[in-house]
Amino acid sequence: DGNLSRATSVEGAGSGWEVRWGREILWHGVFEEEGATLWDLNSSDEYLDKGVFHRGAASLALRRTDGNTAAVGTDLERHLPCDPGKEHSIAGYLRADNAKNAAMIARFYSSRTSETPVGSANAADPASGTSGWTRQWADLVTPSNGTYFEVRFTNDPPSSGTGYARFDDAAFIEWEPWVSADAPAAVPSPNNFRFLQVRSEDAGPGTARILYEETAYERTATSIDGGPPAARGASLLAYPNPFNPRTTIELAVPGEGRVPVRVAVYDLRGRRVATLFRGEVESGKTLGMTWDGLDDGGRGAPSGIYFARALIDGSSFTRKLVLLR
């Protein structure tokens, strides 16, 4: 989200660790209602499913029946540009319900309008049968003339009945060059890097711990709707974040004396989901709260992005939260 500023170290088995960071250049892979879409949904068997999704409020659904004679596929209306001098990866989630050969595919092209790919690879082996949301990922070989790309989703007719393949949180990642992790690696900041990857010369199967720093850039309010400015000296933290099933929220309260404080969680549409605190707090104190992913009615909130907002004596401070189910 533009806050990554330095990769400080990598801890784990092996030696010669390297790190690189990448930006997401697909843009519309979360399948939300964002006012525009680049996906070519040209049949009734290709649609945004608002009832089943991995995160957010919708997924891409592809439907086939045993009476169909060919696969259904969805891709971009136009190829998007990429840098053939850099490396790329494809990632996303797939849910199969009586699906057959459901696949997420990356394709490279030499021009925006070409229909003949110069390179192609699946994010994972095609999926058949029924399975829950499954993470798919593949590092790609970028052709030297692959100046454009597209992502395509497919589903074949099942042997019997109706089959669905649903896709969500798709990403096409363009990587910066590898750098040594032996010393802290500075990242140009602010930026639009959302992915971090590490590798080692001799590490076998196992785990590694990545330590990194973020630099947050907060804006003082001069908003169009006349909202209150951010409170000076306030800090609003949330950990873990992303989280499941709960996160701890800490608010450092500035000012003098006792001040009125209200803390609530809102969704992407600005609707209040849960009220965490309402009352007075002594200045200089830290207020600790926990959000367990439930709304004010005790119902579980769906996976997605939320915002914890603190109002402190008429001023506001906000922290993004990511709930993963």
Report d(CA 27, CA 36) in Å as an integer: 11
CATH number at residue 279: 2.60.40.2550
Domain count along the chain: 3
Residues 29 and 165 in one domain: yes
Report d(CA 298, CA 41) in Å as an integer: 37
Residues 203 and 76 in one domain: no
Is 229 among the domain residues? no
Is 140 among the domain residues? yes
Residues 161 and 255 in one domain: no
CB-count exposure of residue 41 (10 Å: 0-12, 13-18, 19+): middle
Residues 205 and 94 in one domain: no
Is 77 among the domain residues? yes
Residue 77 is encoded by which pair of tokens? Answer: 């209306």
CATH number at residue 79: 2.60.120.260
Residue type, 24: E
Residues 124 and 265 in one domain: no
The upper half-sphere exposure of residue 191, i.e. CA atoms within 13 Å in the direction of its Cβ, equals 19
Q: Would you call the peptide bond into 240 cis, given omega within 30 degrees of 0 as the criterion?
A: yes
Residues 275 and 198 in one domain: no
Report d(CA 65, CA 43) in Å as an integer: 14
Residue 39 is encoded by which pair of tokens? Answer: 């996906």
Going by their DSSP bridges, the two strands 286-291 and 272-282 should be labelled as: unpaired
Residues 165 and 35 in one domain: yes
Residues 79 and 32 in one domain: yes
Q: Would you call the peptide bond into 205 cis, given omega within 30 degrees of 0 as the criterion?
A: no
Report d(CA 273, CA 285) in Å as an integer: 25
pTM: 0.67
Residues 191 and 130 in one domain: no
325 residues of the chain, pLDDT tens digit each = 556 777 777 877 667 788 899 999 997 888 876 655 789 999 999 999 989 999 878 899 999 999 999 999 999 998 999 999 999 999 999 999 999 999 999 999 999 999 999 999 999 999 999 999 999 999 999 999 999 999 999 999 999 999 999 999 999 999 999 988 877 777 876 677 888 888 887 766 667 778 777 765 544 333 334 444 444 456 888 988 888 888 999 988 877 788 888 999 998 878 889 999 988 888 888 888 999 999 888 888 888 889 999 988 778 888 899 898 7
Report d(CA 255, CA 264) in Å as an integer: 20
Is 225 among the domain residues? no
Residues 207 and 76 in one domain: no
Closest-CA residue to 184 (of 214, 215, 213): 213
Choosing from 175, 197, 222, the residue where a domain stops is: 175
Predicted confidence at residue 222, as pLDDT, reads 35
Residues 120 and 263 in one domain: no
Q: Residues 106, 68: contact at Cβ < 8 Å?
A: no
Radius of gyration in angstroms for the set of CA atoms belonging to the chain, rounded to a whole number: 23
Is 259 among the domain residues? yes
Predicted confidence at residue 270, as pLDDT, reads 81
Is 113 among the domain residues? yes
Residues 107 and 12 in one domain: no
45: containing domain: 23-175
Is 228 among the domain residues? no
Report d(CA 50, CA 200) in Å as an integer: 41
Please give the angle made by the CA atoms of 311, 260 and 215, to the nearest 5 degrees. Answer: 35
Specify which residues 266 forms β-bridges with: 272, 307
Q: Which phi and psi (to 5°) does residue 278 adopt?
A: -150, 115
Is 96 among the domain residues? yes
